Amino acid sequence: MNNSAFLQYCMAKPGAEQSVQNRWRANQVKVGGVMFAMVDHVEGRPAVALKMSCEQAAQLRSEHKDIVPSPNLNKAHWSTIFLDGTLKDSLLYKLVDGSYSLALNHIGEQTRQGL
């Protein structure tokens, strides 16, 4: 999978908005002003940072070499996932869905209902 296809999947989520994080020149995807994905290149590889629980992050990092702590975000909750590695697209989609759900939990009920 490449960054463009991944970004397209993220942007298909209800209420998703894209912006550029100038400091890192990365594409941020937010819902209700809360970021759920940051699409970028890390170490020259296409990658995305996704939010997840500390427990899920630890488990996935121990099982997959293409999932590592995010260098520029809270390493306990944000993991960088390399898109050009061995991970199946189905896992990537599942992780986006989870990160999106976490973001939805951080926005107000009125905002959620308006999506």
pLDDT digits (tens, 9 = 90+) for 93-104: 999 999 999 999
Give the number of domains in the chain: 1
Residue 92 forms part of a structural domain: yes
Could you report the per-residue pLDDT of 47-106, keeping only the tens digit for each? 999 999 999 999 999 999 999 999 888 999 999 999 998 999 999 999 999 999 999 998
Tell me what pLDDT residue 36 has.
96
Decide: 31 and 107 in contact? Cβ < 8 Å.
yes
What is the extent of the structural domain holding 79?
3-109
Helix, strand, coil fractions of the chain, as percent rounded to 5? 35, 30, 35
Residue 114 forms part of a structural domain: no
Q: What is the CATH number of the domain that holds 72?
A: 3.90.1150.30
Helix (H, G, I), strand (E, B) or coil at 65: coil
Tell me what pLDDT residue 38 has.
94
Give the helix/strand (H/E) hosting 101.
helix 89-104
Give the helix/strand (H/E) hosting 24.
none
Global pTM?
Answer: 0.90
